[in-house]
Amino acid sequence: MSTDYRFLKACRREKVDTTPVWLMRQAGRYMAEYRAVRSKVTFLELCKSPELCTEVSLQPIDILGVDAAILFSDILVPIEPMGMKLDFNPSPVFESPIRTKADVDALRVIDPYEDVPYVIETVKMLRRELDGRVPLIGFSGAPFTLASYMVEGGGSKNFQKLKTMMYGAPEVYKALMDKITETVILYLRAQQDAGAQALQIFDTWGGILAPGDYKEYVLPYTKRVIDGIRSPLVPVINFVGNSQGLMPLVAQSGGDVIGVDWRIEIDEARRQVGMDKAVQGNLDPIALLAPIPEIERRVKEIIEKAGETGLIFNLGHGIVPETPVENVKALVEFVHKYGAR
């Protein structure tokens, strides 16, 4: 497995010729090519087709010139075979949310090769199709974020049901998190074995908690996942949304690279997580709707603040559908221009 890509070198905090860039949700609705594929199938049908997932995963490589591909899938894909009926309407909805110990007991830890073979096949197909152009990132949702959807039954504004379980039925919460954590470890190991060259853990909702609650209810499980997939050749990116008050704890939970959203300056995030880790981020996704000179200014500022080594440029969250493709192309060009060493 080649490790001499600028993206992987930056993950290891080695010197690079220029700052690498990839973007969360870089394959998505803002691209006409993606919309053309998506118009023919439902979202879940797309996620379960290795051929189509490979096609849309490659689109940003060909169109934008980013420095890494990421597997196209959804964080909830491995939850469905645990025993929960999943639908997208258009947001994710679980028909029967987890509320009791009996609900947790009915869940099963998945076998990725039996239960989500289409994901494993997509990773293999992508490695063949990429043919050494850029490295491939695999991913999973973090246990806490997956639990939030499973308990709430979908998205939530205040996560009342999940927090009520955490505070009032900790034994049920722990049993649920144990099963999810084991599933995530097996799921990411399978992607790694299939050829993923880096792995990202998405903890989109980790930032909804106070620091003390994050330390008690999230950190042990994320740490267990990262310890369970650790490999010297496959760096792990740990991204927690809305984490500006949690950065030292996020660093404690592990990861070779700490993902940073836009609510904290990149230099302050680096100071809090420590210089022994790379950082990834952290342009506000909505800034991509700004005039191109403003995008250029913001890219330059982030690169200057981040320092010379250990930066992977990214957004602080995913690209929004209204983003002009030309603005994204300009972003990639600006990163390579101002990140040149």
Active site residues: 25, 29, 38, 74, 149
- Residue 66 φ then ψ, to 5°: -70, 165
Rounded Cα gap, residues 88 and 104, in angstroms: 22
Output the 3-class SS for 70-130: ECCCCCCCCCHHHCCCEEECCCEEECCCCCCHHHHHCCCCCCHHHHCHHHHHHHHHHHHHH
Q: How many CB atoms lie under 10 A from the CB of residue 208?
A: 20
- Cα maximum dimension of the chain: 57
Number of other CB atoms surrounding residue 210 within 10 Å: 10
Q: Which helix (H) or strand (E) holds 270?
A: helix 266-273
Distance CA 150, CA 28 (A): 24
Neighbouring residues of 254: CB distance < 8 A, sequence distance ≥ 6? 222, 223, 226, 227, 236, 238
Q: What is the pairing mode between strands 86-88 and 278-283?
A: unpaired
